[in-house]
Amino acid sequence: MTNTPELTIERLFASPKLTGPAPQNVKFSPDGQRVTFLKNRKDNAQHFDLWQFDVASGAQSLLIKSDWLDPNDVELDEAEKALRERQRIATRKGIVSYHWGSADQILVPFNGTLYLVTLSDRDEIDARALTQSQGFEYDAKISPNGQYASFIRDGSLYSVDLISGQETPISPAAAADAGVSYGVAEFVAQEEMSRYTGYWWSASDRYLAYTELNESGVDIIDRLDVAKDESQLVAQRYPRAGRPNAIVDLHIYELETGQHTKLASFGPDTYLARVNWNQDEIWFQAVNREQTCISYHRALAPDWRSEPAHSENQTSWVNLSSDFVTVDPHNILITEEKLQSDDTGAFRHIRWLPHPDLPTTDEKHRRPELTSGDWPVSAILAVNEETRQVFFSGHKDTPLEQHLYSVSLTGGPPVRITQAGKSWSVMMAPNGASFVGRSSGPEHPAQTGLYTASGELITWIEENRLDSSHPYAPYLARHTVPEFGQLKAEDGQDLYYSIHKPAGFRPTQQYPVILEVYGGPHAQTVTREWERMGDNFYTRQGYIVFRLDNRGSAHRGKRFEDTIYRKTGAAEVRDQLTGVEWLKQQDYVDPSRIAIQGWSYGGYMTLMTILQAPIGTFAAAISGAPVTDWSLYDTFYTERYMGTPEANPEGYKHSSVFSHLDRLTTPLLLIHGMADDNVTFDNSTRLMAALQERGKHFELMTYPGQRHGITGPPLERHLMTTRMQFLNRHLQGGPA
């Protein structure tokens, strides 16, 4: 019998990744003949190159190695660092983004330079630098007709003619000292709205819409950025709850004439959320400061006079969507959260956008919704006009699994396409005739395949087979999978949980438990997907890992979410404690050895839960990068759920960690990156001072130079070791 090796912390964060290869940023070429994706190197899980899959031959090959473009490492500029932090790709090296132009041209931003890569029939590549400046180019795109490349440099928008190579400034020059820039997205747009750009091409290449961003009225937060070898005071423009936002103007630039037209202005009490083109007709979405209304506007050349066209309203808050799919010039599909019944609340569904040029007698006005029911649509993925099908992702079958569905443009029940028992993310081909599906389940890590539109596997792009050559193969013998179940919240709504027991589990033995919590809105932790490798490490150390998605979390509809409205850290805490009470009733759980840990909103939830739970509920708690007072966090996120501090003082008071600190008795480990520009470090320094003033003892681990996440294998190993030493000491009787 072969001995199974121990899964060590060192191996947990080493290369190759234990989960196996998983293509990132998957795209179809415009002609549908290739599927391209970013793939990490076997000897460096954070370094990515561009690969391709030939649809006709089924062959996979390296397309562009980052070293071919530039073998040197270049220090990123601050704007690029911030953008990658917002996109949660801060640790990646090599090629991190790319953009298709024509079927044989790809734009690759790398090391601050733009490269135009031209492919031949023999897969030979010609890469030429489009830019030669001393500046750092980012947010690069190829225009829809492939005539231009565009990018941001030093806070201004530029274009390059791909034939002549002529570079043209589109916007005025930025004025950094005055807080004015062009074509970029402000902090809350990137961090909270998932809008990472500030410019948009029209379909004809004739027009460019771009933002003029004025942050002069936004408070400057002097953030002490403590690195390992130096410290500096960073003057960060950060709009905290109740404080002024940036002003964003939307402009139209006509490339042929060079004419600029100011279209609309937003702020400081209105947000520009989305911009879409329908041929040469522009649509944009504005959200009011209270975030109770999304208003759709459209404008046309030549005068670009905007007019309201549609609105979505909620009594609590509206959730943004990126769905805007043109079927023909007058028929546009969007998703909205519409009331389904008094009992179940509103769920996101597909509907026709009422178009001002469409007669009111049109069928779309009489029957606007394509889907309905007590389940949510996640996103519209494609429309196949030949088969008259709309493809979308959603959670119709169960909240635990995301699937691909289709529904007829003429109505009817949706049809699930992807295999049940696991969760899916999908990229549809441009014509909707096929898709690349990435799926994983509790029994198997992520697999990526090319499928027909009906869900039949054509071929694997990355099968990621769990055979003897897989990185995880040496550890499979002790692999375990979580079990799933449901509990009831105090209002009768279902709460889904997962419980992951150790290998060799014996029901007569009592085990310590780690309650992993996030608990925040727009997130879900209990899903039928391949487990986190950290969970399997914990179970191998003799721990049970428990998760529960409390009210307020995602994919359950507005009634489930709205429980937290204007008072966070209350209903979510009670739901987590419902899970703890259930755990204590299980014979195999040691009720005196339950710990709780979480990061970001999960760090906040960790603190709020131990401070409101009955004394002795938890044996230990680990809070990472927590918000401690919502008045310290940004406007768009905080005010969506809480309103402003002036309008909701009692809600802010009771939702603050500081209102409950006198009840701290649980051993606490506090962790924070000392350069965090999202949940700023003063959230934790204020907590430290308040606990010290009260004579409350706690343990602390800070990470110089680290932002909101602790990244890189050495530091990830250190973080896990720190956690394990703390947990073992308090739950396993390990050394002090």
The residues annotated as belonging to the active site are 600, 676, 708
Local structure of 586: helix, strand or coil:
coil
- Tell me 193's DSSP state: S
Q: Measure the CA angle with vertex 25, ends 21 and 30; round to 5°.
A: 125
Distance CA 511, CA 539 (A): 10
Look-up of token digits 């529904």: 407
- Tell me 229's DSSP state: S
Q: Any idea of the CA torsion for 680, 682, 683, 688, to the nearest 10 degrees?
A: 150
Look-up of token digits 């869900």: 455
Q: How many residues would you count in the chain?
A: 736
Local structure of 696: helix, strand or coil:
coil
* H/E run at residue 11: helix 9-12
* H/E run at residue 593: strand 589-599
Q: Of the candidates 716, 666, 588, 715, which has an alpha carbon nearest to the alpha carbon of residue 228?
A: 715
**Cβ partners under 8 Å of residue 586, min gap 6:** none
Distance CA 538, CA 503 (A): 11
Distance CA 530, CA 18 (A): 12
Tell me the three-class secondary structure of 333-381, residue by residue.
EEEEEEEEECCCEEEEEEEECCCCCCCCCCHHHHCCECCCCCCCEEEEE
Structure tokens at 65: 């190695």
Cis bond upstream, residue 30 (ω within 30):
no
Structure tokens at 182: 């062009």
